[in-house]
A and B are shown apart, each in its own frame.
Chain A
């Protein structure tokens, strides 16, 4: 299998330019972030932050200062409200399981949206085994939560609601504040969690203004290193830890703290927020150039998710009809353009992205979807190159499809 990959990689030799747009699934880490992390591996703060020696105290100082900065960016009240976890998956698992277990005496119903990420959806399936029942609230054709159905779903038994601030696939910005008010109106005891990973660093976000009880953020979603994220837990909200082990500075997550990654996450946050407006405008300008270019050049293309202010500035999710997504990702890769698809094709399972299905996309539309996210590090030239490559790539795949698969 590895031999095959070597051949595949060889097939990429000599490509004119490389443009990485698959920032949903992993990102490059900017040099400033890597440089900020490096000293923490061997020069300072490499100790265990709970131990009584200089490298340990340095680590303690570094982690606390980092937590303070992250809590400021999130608008938290105190740094103790921040728990570092190994990422978004772990933070969402901790939020849902931890809050459900710690508060099960208040009820065993959970409410989420149909388009929550897999690391929320699957956790609610796991929680079924512990007697928790989940209601999934439908969304409309642009991915906006049906607030009427939300109101109907919450009752005295509802222990937790979890609604993402921004959908990771189609970029819909949810009315989280309204949703929270509706939930709390029906039951003041219901805890409200939001996965804010795709909102952090892209739209204004303040957990105290939103009044959420729990919020997830992730480092790699803002060009920080993978393997680190954080869960905000409002002071006074009870959450059980879900893993057992040696507890250190992070009361809800056992194990030795990964100081270099925490530093990288913090640095990435600083870079995202130090010139927030300019960063966001840059993402949006490049994203718009990309999307407008595709719509100008090709027919039978559909935007997935809303247009305008209710769409997060970096996300372009586009369905190319009569074009299978996996084939297109490979064709684009051979030309140095790296994207992902919501196609079902890598699985024996025939279902494509649950998000695209939830917004009413036909399967054939979902199979031809491509997800791209711009960053402040992309250039105009990058996007021009992508726009040069996409029409011929789509044209070639459509040529193979011919009259097949037109439904």
Chain B
């Protein structure tokens, strides 16, 4: 059972109660997902990117806890108006955590997942375009690796569950 007391900050509570930039975006340039419903922790980001590679609009949907909702929402605020390069380089999970006034340590992964999703969206944009800028590393960043790890763990657990069901 979910029993660890979670003293969320006022900022997290505010974003949970009135999330900014919530909802699907019909004219999104790129859509990226991180997490897995099996973890109870999943985010979808919608980004509208213009010809100058500036993020004009960002929105999100979240299947997750209050920290997941709050970090996803704040990330959409933080990246709005940034160039893709700046969104890639300047938005780290630590900054996201600071921006919501701190998170309980068991919730750090929510911010990591949110930043992982942004990085995926940026990669996806350049994949769709067919060319990548020099500043975009080939190797996965910390946040992308963490998101992947969480997804793989969820897969493994779900598989184990299916095996148990078939028994």
Contacts and interface: CB of A to CB of B under 8 A. Distances in A.
Given A334-B17, A340-B1, A327 B69 contact: yes
Nearest to A364: B37
A2 B7 CA distance: 7
Contacts of B157: 350-351, 363
A404 interface: yes
Contact of B38 (A24, A348, A350, A401): A350
A362 interface: yes
B163 interface: no
Contacts of A340: 1-3
Contacts of A364: 37-38, 40
A363 B161 contact: yes
Interface stretch (A51-59, A318-326, A374-382): A318-326
A16 interface: no
Contact of A401 (B39, B63, B109, B165): B63
Contacts of A330: 8, 16, 66
A401 B61 contact: yes
B16 A341 contact: no
Interface stretch (A5-13, A203-211, A222-230): A5-13
A348 B38 CA distance: 13
A25 B1 CA distance: 10
Given A324-B65, A404-B44, A344 B13 contact: no
Contacts of B165: 360
Contact of A350 (B39, B68, B167): B39
A34 B152 CA distance: 51
A11 B10 CA distance: 9
Interface string A333-359: 010000011111111101111000100
B43 interface: yes
Interface in A1-36: 1-2, 4-5, 7-8, 11, 24-25
Interface in B1-51: 1-10, 13, 16-17, 19, 22-24, 33, 37-44
Given A326-B66, A364-B37, A403 B109 contact: no
A402 interface: yes
A348 B109 contact: yes
Contacts of A404: 33, 42-44, 61-63
B136 interface: no
B9 A4 contact: yes
A360 B165 CA distance: 7
Contacts of A326: 2, 6, 40, 65-66
A109 interface: no
B8 A8 contact: yes
A38 interface: no
A245 interface: no
Given A4-B8, A363-B38, A406-B37, A324 B63 contact: yes
A363 B40 contact: yes
A407 interface: yes
Interface residues of B, number: 46
Interface in A173-198: none
A252 interface: no
A340 B61 CA distance: 24
A406 B61 CA distance: 12
A24 B65 CA distance: 21
Contacts of B69: 327, 400
A7 B12 CA distance: 11
B64 interface: yes
Interface in A61-120: none
Contact of B62 (A5, A25, A400): A400
A334 B66 CA distance: 13
B147 to A, nearest CB: 13
A350 B149 CA distance: 12
Nearest to A350: B39
A400 B68 CA distance: 11
A390 interface: no
Interface string A365-407: 0010001000000000000000000000000000111111111
A402 B65 contact: no
A329 interface: yes
B110 to A, nearest CB: 9
A364 to B, nearest CB: 4
Interface in B110-167: 150, 153-154, 157-158, 161, 165, 167
B4 A401 contact: no
Contacts of B158: 362-363
Contacts of B5: 5
Interface of B: 1-10, 13, 16-17, 19, 22-24, 33, 37-44, 61-66, 68-69, 101, 104, 106, 109, 150, 153-154, 157-158, 161, 165, 167
Given A340-B1, A350-B153, 6 more contacts: A324-B64, A326-B2, A346-B4, A362-B158, A402-B61, A406-B37
